A and B are shown apart, each in its own frame.
Chain A
Amino acid sequence: MRLIEAEILKLVRRRGLMIWSLLLTVGSVLVAVIVLLVLHAVNPGHHGPAGGGTNLEHYVFLLSGLGDIAAILIGATAGTQDVSNGVFRDLVVTGRSRATLFRVRAVGALCVFLPILALGFAVAIGSSFLFAGGLAQATGSDIGHYIAYTLAITVLNTILAASIAAFASSRVVVGVLIAWSAIVAQILISIKVLGGARKFIDVAAAEHFATHRMNDNPIPMSSATALVVLAVWAAVALAAGRWWTNRVDA
């Protein structure tokens, strides 16, 4: 527990990282809400209220996309900061196992990221109800889907970033994961000839939890399969990172 607290301390003291993470998650939703509020105030005939179920879907689209970048930034930083600052060897000479020192990185990253994400969700959901006007509200089921999908994609990418960072610099990790999630995985998912094999793509598994309105071309799979796919991706990345951390000179 003390090691996890230490990881959290290292991350939250990074002002730049925290500011960017808050801007990408809470800030992006807030900006969207404010823009819609202003548009509605200026021209209510043409622009509807800023709340309601449809607008919540837009906010969640922002939150999952930009929040995912924040998750990757936090995970990559957690995964690289001890080594890049030359402190890892000082932690190793305390006698702590390298596996333990590696494991707490992802846990610490999640402990920092999830409250930020929760704040983003609170702003999005709160705004959708507060400013709904006469629009239809999102159902409990919709909100459940939004949370499940966003958690699936961001938690996995936090773990992937913290794990892959054992092999590469944080910039490389951030670039590779954003390119994978936003471009490569989407292209692979769209190649129909790959058929059922596409369910093994992490992004496809995460999108299984999205609403049908958000994901108009879902890869057929059960929720159990989607969870297993996500768990396998996380487990393989963690195992590879742990193996390399144990093997490399500190």
Chain B
Amino acid sequence: METVIETKALTKRFGERAAVDGVDLTVGAGVAFGFLGPNGAGKTTMIRTLLGLTQATAGEMSLLGLPQPAKRREALARVGAIVEEPRFHPHLTGRENLQIVAAARDSAADGRIDESIERVGLSHRAGDRVKTYSLGMRQRLGIARCLLADPALLMLDEPMNGLDPAGILEMRHLIRAFVAEGRTVFLSSHLLDEVEKTCDEVAIVDRGRVILQGRVDEIAASGDPTVLLDIDDADAARRVLSSDTRVTNIEQEGRELRITLGDGLTTAEVNRALVTAGVAVSRLEPARATLEEKFLAVTSRLETSE
């Protein structure tokens, strides 16, 4: 698969503090890639460094296969980006703001203005001054500005920030549509749920370092399987399951148990053991780990190790 973003030991320091700390990252073409981390993890600095808005302290990086910053202009000609919140000249209309940025791009960008505005559903407000726009409309205008480049890569910094549920849904659909067109979307977010719903791949970042990287479904499904049990006698069930050393963890919430199966233990074996011991099982369901749980597990391990 073609590599769209690649960094090797990329580092950005502000004095003694490393905002991006030796990051090795590979993002393939045609995916929605989530750069996930808590506030202050270094997500925006990473995007700013990749885009040449601030200089890297050390390391190597390439965009669309072109080394940065040596081939900056060639690469950025096919990159659209929203860094932090989308900002505009408030006294200009939406269309005029796009004209300003199109003028900095190649002449074909002028021809994409109307198409971009229409794509994000702002045709009816394109002639209004941006100072009258809501945050959601500004986010959409920011996306339209990205589309002026006919981008192979979109870099969106916290694109869901400040949006209402309808706006978030709309943004998610837009991002998925871009991916369906073969574009790559690199988005940073601290909203785990949104990344899980929107992205194909994810890198979990904290304190400037990438802790975990891979496909969202694979990361969420990694580790030992977990099963949710609804039983009539939770204490009896605990006794039965505790006697099996392959059960690595048991958590109880009322009549519900959440158990982690290790060493090849199957759901069927658990069911058989409980029924044999006289425990009535009314529900037995493999639990799907969420990205949030994985994220918390990974970051808590990090805190423990420090």
Q: Tell me the smallest distance from the CB of B4 to a CB of chain A, in Å.
A: 16
Residue B91 contacts which of A3, A14, A95 (CB distance < 8 angstroms)? A14
Q: Does A13 contact B (CB under 8 A)?
A: yes
Beyond A90-B145, A94-B104, is A10–B53 a contact (Cβ under 8 Å)? no
Beyond A13-B96, A93-B51, is A5–B103 a contact (Cβ under 8 Å)? yes
Q: Does B175 contact A (CB under 8 A)?
A: no
A43 contact set on B, CB distance < 8 A = none
Q: Does B105 contact A (CB under 8 A)?
A: yes
Size category, B interface: 20 to 34
Whole-angstrom CA separation of A92 from B76 in the bound complex: 9
B83 contact set on A, CB distance < 8 A = 89-90, 93
Contact A81 B89 (CB under 8 A): yes
Whole-angstrom CA separation of A95 from B70 in the bound complex: 11
Interface residues of B in 70-106 (CB under 8 A from A): 72-77, 79, 81, 83, 87-92, 96-97, 99-105
Interface residues of A in 90-120 (CB under 8 A from B): 90-97, 101
A250 contact set on B, CB distance < 8 A = 53-54
Using a CB–CB cutoff of 8 Å, the interface residues on chain A facing chain B are 2-3, 5-6, 9-10, 13-15, 81, 85-87, 89-97, 101, 249-250
Using a CB–CB cutoff of 8 Å, the interface residues on chain B facing chain A are 48, 51-54, 72-77, 79, 81, 83, 87-92, 96-97, 99-105, 107, 110, 145, 149
Enumerate the 8 nearest inter-chain pairs by beta-carbon distance, A residue then B residue, closest first.
Answer: A86-B87, A95-B76, A6-B103, A2-B103, A95-B73, A94-B104, A250-B53, A249-B54
Pick 25 A–B contacts, CB within 8 A, sort by A.
A2-B103, A6-B100, A10-B100, A13-B92, A85-B88, A85-B90, A86-B87, A87-B88, A87-B89, A87-B101, A89-B83, A90-B145, A91-B100, A92-B51, A93-B52, A93-B76, A93-B81, A93-B83, A94-B76, A94-B104, A95-B73, A95-B74, A96-B73, A101-B104, A250-B53
